[in-house]
Amino acid sequence: MNRGRRRVCLAGASGIALLGASCGARVPLTTGAIDDPYVPPLPFDAGAPDGAVPLGPALCGADAVAGGKLATLAVGSARRLTDDSTYDVWLCRDDRGVYALNNECTHASCPLQLVGGPRFYCRCHGAEFDFNGEHPTAPAIQPLEHYAVCDDGAGNARVDLALVVAPASRLP
Ligand code: FES
Protein backbone atom coordinates (compact mmCIF):
# COMPACT_ATOMS: atom_id res chain seq x y z
CA MET A 1 0.00 0.00 0.00
CA ASN A 2 1.11 3.50 -0.73
CA ARG A 3 2.32 5.04 2.57
CA GLY A 4 1.10 8.47 1.69
CA ARG A 5 -2.37 7.22 1.03
CA ARG A 6 -2.31 5.12 4.18
CA ARG A 7 -1.39 8.18 6.26
CA VAL A 8 -4.37 10.00 4.89
CA CYS A 9 -6.62 7.09 5.73
CA LEU A 10 -5.33 6.70 9.28
CA ALA A 11 -5.54 10.42 9.89
CA GLY A 12 -9.16 10.31 8.89
CA ALA A 13 -10.06 7.32 11.04
CA SER A 14 -11.81 9.53 13.58
CA GLY A 15 -14.35 10.65 11.00
CA ILE A 16 -16.26 8.13 8.93
CA ALA A 17 -17.27 10.72 6.35
CA LEU A 18 -13.64 11.71 5.76
CA LEU A 19 -12.53 8.10 5.75
CA GLY A 20 -14.99 7.21 3.08
CA ALA A 21 -14.17 10.21 0.98
CA SER A 22 -10.39 9.72 1.21
CA CYS A 23 -10.04 6.00 0.83
CA GLY A 24 -13.01 4.73 -1.10
CA ALA A 25 -14.46 1.25 -0.93
CA ARG A 26 -11.17 -0.56 -1.76
CA VAL A 27 -9.59 0.21 1.64
CA PRO A 28 -10.62 -2.23 4.38
CA LEU A 29 -12.01 -0.64 7.51
CA THR A 30 -10.25 -2.20 10.50
CA THR A 31 -9.97 -1.25 14.12
CA GLY A 32 -7.19 -3.74 15.01
CA ALA A 33 -3.48 -3.13 15.48
CA ILE A 34 -1.61 -1.31 12.79
CA ASP A 35 1.00 -3.69 11.42
CA ASP A 36 2.99 -1.14 9.47
CA PRO A 37 2.54 2.28 11.05
CA TYR A 38 4.03 5.31 9.41
CA VAL A 39 7.23 6.37 11.14
CA PRO A 40 8.42 9.88 10.33
CA PRO A 41 12.09 10.14 9.39
CA LEU A 42 14.50 11.02 12.17
CA PRO A 43 16.07 14.44 12.05
CA PHE A 44 19.45 14.11 10.34
CA ASP A 45 22.25 16.59 10.83
CA ALA A 46 24.95 16.11 8.23
CA GLY A 47 26.93 19.14 9.41
CA ALA A 48 28.11 21.73 6.94
CA PRO A 49 26.99 21.09 3.36
CA ASP A 50 30.58 20.66 2.22
CA GLY A 51 31.46 18.33 5.12
CA ALA A 52 33.88 20.83 6.63
CA VAL A 53 34.71 20.36 10.29
CA PRO A 54 35.94 23.13 12.59
CA LEU A 55 39.60 22.54 13.30
CA GLY A 56 40.96 23.26 16.77
CA PRO A 57 43.26 22.00 19.54
CA ALA A 58 40.87 19.32 20.75
CA LEU A 59 40.84 17.60 17.38
CA CYS A 60 44.49 16.57 17.18
CA GLY A 61 45.85 13.52 18.93
CA ALA A 62 49.09 13.20 20.87
CA ASP A 63 50.92 11.91 17.80
CA ALA A 64 50.25 15.02 15.71
CA VAL A 65 53.39 16.34 14.03
CA ALA A 66 54.77 19.84 14.55
CA GLY A 67 53.96 22.34 11.81
CA GLY A 68 55.83 25.47 12.90
CA LYS A 69 54.59 28.99 13.57
CA LEU A 70 51.16 29.68 12.13
CA ALA A 71 51.80 33.42 11.96
CA THR A 72 54.64 32.98 9.49
CA LEU A 73 52.52 31.06 7.01
CA ALA A 74 51.20 33.70 4.63
CA VAL A 75 48.05 33.44 2.55
CA GLY A 76 48.86 31.67 -0.69
CA SER A 77 51.93 29.91 0.71
CA ALA A 78 52.68 26.34 1.74
CA ARG A 79 55.24 24.79 4.05
CA ARG A 80 56.46 21.26 3.51
CA LEU A 81 56.59 19.08 6.62
CA THR A 82 58.46 15.81 6.37
CA ASP A 83 60.78 13.54 8.31
CA ASP A 84 61.79 11.85 5.02
CA SER A 85 60.40 8.52 6.11
CA THR A 86 57.04 8.41 7.91
CA TYR A 87 55.22 11.55 6.79
CA ASP A 88 55.27 14.17 4.06
CA VAL A 89 52.59 16.86 4.03
CA TRP A 90 52.03 20.42 2.91
CA LEU A 91 50.78 22.94 5.45
CA CYS A 92 48.94 25.59 3.45
CA ARG A 93 47.06 28.80 4.06
CA ASP A 94 44.44 30.33 1.80
CA ASP A 95 42.02 33.16 2.48
CA ARG A 96 39.84 30.81 4.58
CA GLY A 97 42.55 29.49 6.88
CA VAL A 98 45.16 26.78 7.34
CA TYR A 99 44.92 23.19 6.13
CA ALA A 100 47.21 20.21 5.50
CA LEU A 101 47.56 18.10 2.35
CA ASN A 102 49.16 14.73 1.89
CA ASN A 103 52.20 15.23 -0.32
CA GLU A 104 51.64 12.05 -2.25
CA CYS A 105 50.32 12.10 -5.79
CA THR A 106 47.18 10.04 -6.02
CA HIS A 107 48.32 8.48 -9.31
CA ALA A 108 51.41 6.57 -8.21
CA SER A 109 52.50 8.19 -4.93
CA CYS A 110 55.26 10.50 -6.13
CA PRO A 111 55.92 13.61 -4.02
CA LEU A 112 54.57 16.88 -5.36
CA GLN A 113 56.15 20.21 -6.06
CA LEU A 114 54.62 23.60 -5.24
CA VAL A 115 54.57 25.68 -8.41
CA GLY A 116 53.09 28.99 -9.48
CA GLY A 117 49.43 29.59 -9.23
CA PRO A 118 49.89 28.28 -6.59
CA ARG A 119 49.22 24.63 -7.38
CA PHE A 120 50.91 21.25 -6.94
CA TYR A 121 52.73 19.52 -9.76
CA CYS A 122 53.88 15.91 -10.04
CA ARG A 123 57.12 15.44 -11.92
CA CYS A 124 56.58 11.70 -12.40
CA HIS A 125 53.80 11.89 -14.98
CA GLY A 126 52.68 15.50 -15.05
CA ALA A 127 49.51 15.55 -12.94
CA GLU A 128 48.53 18.84 -11.31
CA PHE A 129 46.30 19.66 -8.35
CA ASP A 130 44.92 23.02 -7.37
CA PHE A 131 46.01 24.72 -4.13
CA ASN A 132 43.33 22.84 -2.22
CA GLY A 133 44.55 19.51 -3.60
CA GLU A 134 41.51 19.14 -5.81
CA HIS A 135 40.71 19.03 -9.54
CA PRO A 136 43.57 16.72 -10.50
CA THR A 137 44.65 16.51 -14.09
CA ALA A 138 45.46 13.20 -15.80
CA PRO A 139 46.77 10.72 -15.07
CA ALA A 140 45.70 11.41 -11.47
CA ILE A 141 42.00 11.01 -10.72
CA GLN A 142 41.59 11.42 -6.97
CA PRO A 143 42.18 14.66 -5.02
CA LEU A 144 44.80 14.87 -2.27
CA GLU A 145 43.87 13.91 1.27
CA HIS A 146 43.40 16.63 3.88
CA TYR A 147 44.49 16.11 7.48
CA ALA A 148 43.34 17.86 10.63
CA VAL A 149 45.38 20.90 11.62
CA CYS A 150 45.40 22.26 15.17
CA ASP A 151 46.86 25.19 17.06
CA ASP A 152 48.92 24.02 20.05
CA GLY A 153 47.79 27.04 22.05
CA ALA A 154 51.10 28.85 21.56
CA GLY A 155 50.61 29.74 17.90
CA ASN A 156 52.20 26.60 16.49
CA ALA A 157 50.55 24.26 14.01
CA ARG A 158 50.14 20.56 14.64
CA VAL A 159 48.99 18.11 11.96
CA ASP A 160 47.21 14.89 12.84
CA LEU A 161 48.06 12.42 10.09
CA ALA A 162 45.61 9.89 11.47
CA LEU A 163 42.65 12.20 10.98
CA VAL A 164 41.44 12.78 7.42
CA VAL A 165 39.02 15.70 7.09
CA ALA A 166 36.88 17.19 4.34
CA PRO A 167 38.70 19.43 1.84
CA ALA A 168 36.83 22.52 3.02
CA SER A 169 38.01 22.17 6.63
CA ARG A 170 40.18 25.04 7.87
CA LEU A 171 41.96 26.22 11.00
CA PRO A 172 40.92 29.89 11.09
S1 FES B 1 52.69 9.66 -9.83
FE2 FES B 1 51.96 11.67 -10.10
S3 FES B 1 51.26 11.72 -12.12
FE4 FES B 1 51.95 9.73 -11.85
pLDDT tens digits for range 73-129: 999 999 999 999 999 999 999 999 999 999 999 999 999 999 999 999 999 999 999
Domains of the chain: 1-38 (no CATH), 44-165 (2.102.10.10)
pTM of the predicted model, to two decimals? 0.71
- Measured in angstroms, how far is the CA atom of residue 25 from the centroid of ligand 1? 68
The amino acid at residue 60 is: C
Protein residue with its CA nearest to atom 1 in ligand 1: 108
Per-residue pLDDT reduced to its tens digit, 43-82: 444 456 577 766 766 678 889 999 999 999 999 999 999 9
Euclidean distance between CA atoms 19 and 164, whole angstroms: 54
- Measured in angstroms, how far is the CA atom of residue 128 from the centroid of ligand 1? 9
Per-residue pLDDT reduced to its tens digit, 11-31: 333 333 333 333 333 444 545
Evaluate whether 107 touches 124 at the Cβ level (below 8 Å).
yes
